[in-house]
Structure formats: C-alpha cells, structure tokens
Amino acid sequence: MKTKIIIFGNFPLSIMLKITFIGAGSLIFGRNVLTDILTFPIFRNNTIICLEDVDPKRLDLMYDYIQKYKECYPQDTQGITLEKTTNQKKAVEDAKYIINAVQIGGLDAFKLDIEIPFKYGVSQCIGDTLGPGGVFRFLRSIPFFKSLLMDVKDVGYNPRKNEMKPLILNYTNPMAMNTWYCNVISPDSTIGLCHGVQGTAALLRSLISSETSIKLSPRDFSYMCAGINHMAWFLEARYKDPADINGTWIDGYPVLNEIIKNNSESILIEKLRFDMMKATGYFMTESSGHLSEYLPYYRKRVDLLEEYKGSDKGHRSLKHSEDYFMQFKNQGTMEKDFKRRMNEKRFQFKEKPSGEYASRIINALETGEPFRFN
C-alpha cells in the first residue's frame, strides 16, 4: 500500500490510516467501539476500517450495520473505506491499530470451564479472570495471540522497522494474562483495556451524588486508580460542587465511609465490595461476582453467598455460572436486535464516544491530543 505522510504539529500522520477490528462479530461491543471511532473528525478522512471475524454471518451483520451508518451520513463518512474479511493475515496487513475482542472456543468451551471445576468443588460466578476458568481460557487463547503477533510482525504497519510499529488494543479476557503474554513475545506491542475503572467511577460518582444531594457530572468527579485488571483500587476519589465558584476538590471517601457507617441502602447493590472497603479502606473496580472468586471465602458456604449477594440475578447474585447462563440465555438476541435495527430508516449519529478507551487512545496517538487512562 502506498502511503503519503503529512505533518500535524510535531506528529506525522499517515494519509491512509488502517484500523482493524479482530473479532468484529462481537456485535454490541463492536458497534460501540466502531461508532466511537467515527466520532473523531480525523478518522473520517482517508481511513480504512477493516472488520475480521471467523463467523461470516456475524461479520456480515456488523459490516452491513456500519455500511448503513455510513450511508446515513455520507458527508461525515465519505472518506472512510470499509472492508471485511475472514482472513486474519489479510486484516492485519498494513494495519496501524488492531482492536481485538475474540473469545476463543465460544460458549462451548466456556461451559467446560465452569462445569468441570464445579465437579471438584470449585464454584465460579464468572470464570474469565483467574482460577480454572481464567487459566484455561488463557491457555486456549495462546495459539491465537501467537498467530496474531506473527502476522503483525510479518505484514502489519511498517513491518521491517522498529519505530511506529502497530499497536494492539486487547479487550479479550483474561486481560492480565493475555496482555502479559503478548508483551513478553513482542515488547510494547499490546495495551490491555477494560471498562471496570470507568464503570466503577460512574458508580462512585452516583453514590456520592446521592448521599450529598449534589448533582455531579463526570467533570465534577476525579480519581486515581491503580492495580491490575479486574482488581484495581480507587486510591483517590474526589468531587467538587458545581455551584462552588472556587471549584474546591473534596475527598469523597468520608462520604463513602458514612454510607458504611449508616448501613445505607446503597450498600445493598455491592455488599461484597463494601465489605472489602471496610477491610482495606479503598473501593475496588470489579463486580462482587468477580471479587467473590478472588477471595473464595465468600463462596465456601451457601449462607455466605446468601449474605453477600446484591441481587437475585446477574453478577451481583454471586450465583455459580451466572455469567455463562446469561450469555447462553441471550444467544441470538443480539443478532435479532441488529436485524431489527437494520430496518430502521435512519440511524442516529453519535456525537461523542462512549466510555471505551480504544478510540480515544488512537486519536491521542494520531493527533498528539493528551489522553490519560487507567
């Protein structure tokens, strides 16, 4: 592919930028991330978006959706070339950014991750991070990641030079293991992404807003979070009253501690996470369902599961194999939703990106616009 270079400030920009999505058949997640990309003006001109998936039917659904989105807004998307393929190497060829969201083995393998350990007394609510479920999900993902890294090395953007090499943005769990493996095989090749930090930040902002009766927008809430994926800790949580002309930042932890002290109803939604906050002094990112697997004390007896559950269904229920059953139950519903939406006369244009980081990271790297994430 012939590539022209222009200079934007001090940052070189490729006129023909290629962004590839591996596992584009992840319909809801894929739709969010891909339409996020289209919210940034820089990606609406001379950009190739390549969709790849091993399932041609789901790939076609995503391709048709984004194609119709483009047709609804030709003036905003006329500079975008949309491609699709079931060939991973072809998808990776000349790609500067590769977004990955595959699930190797699908629900059939996921079922074994849950059922076999349970025969030996290991109960898992989700089973995608550590323990038997996380370990075996990682092991069966290794061949895929190895092949992806080899393809990137062979045919990815600027393949024979060390500078400006392609970047993999990985959303596949177990995040820590997968990202660690990729960066051992190919140093600085991969960033692991999740939405646990953003989701928990929104939860804490909502709790503080409710307890203080101050309506807080995202710009009125600030935090510092550190740790590993699915187990990071909010070391700081601060807020400011939008009515305060001085814009004074206030420590939010006294408010959260007051929730615990008063045994507020807010605790009920995340009993286990608040119990951990009592023990450590900090609130953590991941759902009670995940956390119960990291600290199996909470899962060793039926009465403990009943005591700490935050709802009767979903991850907060702490039920064994709840995530698998949710995915199994919802099989086919996303496809039906996509087909229904394709019958809509016009899609709504997305003005701002969602909370997912991928599009913002790519925009920052291409324009030099600062973006901090964790």
pLDDT averaged per 10 residues in sequence order, the chain, 374 residues: 40 71 92 94 93 96 94 90 97 97 96 96 94 96 98 84 81 96 96 93 95 95 94 96 93 95 83 93 92 89 91 90 92 85 88 94 95 85
Evaluate whether residue 325 is within a structural domain. Answer: no
Cβ neighbours for 256, distance < 8 A, ≥ 6 positions apart: 204, 207, 208, 237, 277, 283
Q: What pLDDT is attached to residue 6?
A: 38
158 and 242 together in one domain? no
Do the domain assignments include residue 109?
A: yes
CATH number of the domain to which 109 belongs: 3.90.1820.10
One domain, residues 284 and 346:
no
pLDDT at 163: 60
pLDDT at 8: 39
- Do 280 and 187 belong together in one domain? no
* 159 falls within a domain: yes
- Write down the pTM of the prediction: 0.90
pLDDT (tens digit per residue) in 19-49? 999 999 998 899 999 999 999 999 988 999 9
Number of domains in the chain: 2
- Active-site residue list: 195, 294
Q: Which domain holds residue 213?
A: 196-320
pLDDT at 345: 85
Q: Are residues 296 and 249 in the same domain?
A: yes
163/221 same-domain check: no
Q: 145 and 257 share a domain?
A: no
pLDDT tens track for 339-370 = 888 888 888 889 999 999 999 999 999 999 99
Arithmetic mean of pLDDT over the chain = 91
Output the 3-class SS for the chain: CCCCEEEECCEEEECCEEEEEECCCCHHHHHHHHHHHCCCHHHHCCEEEEEECCCHHHHHHHHHHHHHHHHHCHHHHCCEEEEEECCHHHHHCCCCEEEECCCCCHHHHHHHHHHHHHHCCCCCCCCCCCHHHHHHHHHHHHHHHHHHHHHHHHHCCCCCCCCCCCEEEECCCCHHHHHHHHHHHCCCCEEECCCHHHHHHHHHHHHHHHHHCCCCCHHHEEEEEEEECCEEEEEEEEECCCCCCCCCCEECHHHHHHHHHCCCHHHHHHHHHHHHHHHHCCEECCCHHHHHHHCHHHHCCHHHHHHHCCCCCCHHHCCCCHHHHHHHHCCCHHHHHHHHHHCCCCCCCCCCCCCCCHHHHHHHHHHCCCCCCC
Which pLDDT belongs to residue 160? 59
Residue 274 domain flag: yes
60 and 187 share one domain: yes
pLDDT of residue 162: 53
